Amino acid sequence: MPIHSPWRADFPGILALAAEGQTYLDSAATAQKPQAMLDALLGYYAGGAANVHRAQHLPGERATRAFEATRASLAAWLNAAEPSQIIFTRGATEAFNLLAYGLEHCFQAGDEIVISALEHHANLLPWQQLALRRQLKLVVLPLDNSGLIDLEHAAQLIGPRCKLLTLSQLSNVLGGWQPLSPLLALAKAQGALTVVDGAQGVVHGRHDVQTLGCDFYIGSSHKLYGPDGVGLLYGRTAALQQLAHWQFGGEMLLQTSYHSARFRDAPLGFEAGTPPIASVIALGASLAYLAGLDADAVATHEARLHAQLLSGLQQRQGVRLLGAPQVALASFVVDGVHNADLAHLLTEQGIAVRAGHHCAMPLLQSLGLSGAIRVSLGLYNDSSDLERFFTALDQALELLR
Ligand code: PLP
């Protein structure tokens, strides 16, 4: 049965790519943008750009109001207690680095940081490097056969030296929702801080950070149908108070002399220099667009399309799915076929999917793979995209096998 996206026409990028013969199935890497976001981006520049939080003049005041409105929208989107719990960074990756530097003073040699085997490099390398700087131990939670963190092992590995647990909510490779509640509870029982990588999770459904109960939650604007160059870091107020300042410059300070300074609290104390003003304002427009959609209709559309993707892959001989994806994406390999060769033939047929290690090299290594193909869906995709993908896949496999 054909599945149409009622929102496709709202995304000029997907229409432009289609007109060029490109089928875009790489939204987990970055999503196409709604017209409302493009209008907001242009509107800010065309209406007169101004810096935020410093100018007394009208354009400056207007820009500051719009910028802060996005902070309030994000707080509402995540059900944070207050807008001041949202820090804008220049990407999810920068948010992890902020935490790894900002919390460095909380660790002593021998302390443990616990991650899982499927973390994106953004939620691995900042901690790995912190562990190397401070002689900490990085503990890696293993996965079960469906690609979820094994709770029995986790209970054994999250011990009294655990000072921080940081986990992906939804894997960008395996597409499974992690059992965060019991895992965060294990860490909290040891008095550890908890971080959730919501870069993929925040895009699908609505998540309530207070119910989740994590100390920090990280997301990425460009995956959430917003512009690139913006990340979000939510922190519980008490957790934010533990952060040491890490980037220094304009607007993050209360007072300075040549030889010493006093800094602002979060959020502004962690937003040194001119932020990505236009992008933050435009992210607000993306959120307003998303908030205006029927959330149930979006979830149903995503689920139906995902089921079609999975059944199409499962029907093809020799295609092996990684993990047990639950939403929005599926990664796979084909017996006897190199993923780079397959990716090349798909690209030649105008199919935009991702191939390689997906910024999770240790995960792929642990699965004995050098790479995999990932198909990922946005709310603008429909079944005609999947049909074109499967036709191209069949042709490519006929050539390669
Ligand atoms: N975490 C996950 C699970 C991701 O998928 C990504 C991006 O692919 C990131 C973190 C990093 O996001 P960004 O590249 O926007 O900083």
pLDDT at 221: 98
**Mean pLDDT for all residues in the chain:** 97
User: Is residue 12 pLDDT above 90, yes or no?
Assistant: yes
Domain spanning 38-291, CATH class: alpha beta
Q: Is the pLDDT of residue 141 over 90?
A: yes
pLDDT at 144 over 90: yes
Active-site annotation holder among 106, 162, 214, 359: 359
pLDDT at 317: 95
Distance (Å, whole) CA 308 – CA 304: 6
Q: What is the pTM of this model?
A: 0.97
- What is the rounded average pLDDT of the residues 289-317? 97
Convert the pLDDT of each residue in 104-121 to its tens digit. 999 999 999 999 999 999
pLDDT digits (tens, 9 = 90+) for 222-251: 999 999 999 999 999 999 999 999 999 999
The per-residue pLDDT for range 70-87, each reduced to its tens digit, is 999 999 999 999 999 999
CA 93 – ligand 1 centroid, Å: 7
> What are the residue ranges spanned by the domains of the chain?
8-25+294-400, 38-291
Q: Are 8-25+294-400 and 38-291 in the same CATH fold?
A: no
Determine the distance separating the centroid of ligand 1 and the alpha carbon of 286, expressed in angstroms.
18
pLDDT band at 131 (very low <50, low <70, confident <90, very high): very high
> Is position 106 annotated as part of the catalytic site?
no
Best residue for ligand 1 mutational test, from 30, 118, 167, 200 (most atoms within 8 Å of Cβ)? 200
What integer pLDDT is reported at residue 259 of this predicted model? 98
pLDDT (0 to 100) of residue 401: 86
Q: Identify the residue whose tokens are 């006929």.
A: 398
Q: Is the pLDDT of residue 321 over 90?
A: yes
Q: What is the pLDDT of residue 194?
A: 98
Q: pLDDT higher for 54 or 144? A: 144
pLDDT for 280: 98
Which mutation among 172, 327, 331, 376 tests ligand 1's pocket best, with the greatest number of atoms within 8 A of CB? Answer: 172
Domain 8-25+294-400 grouped into CATH 3.20.20.300: no
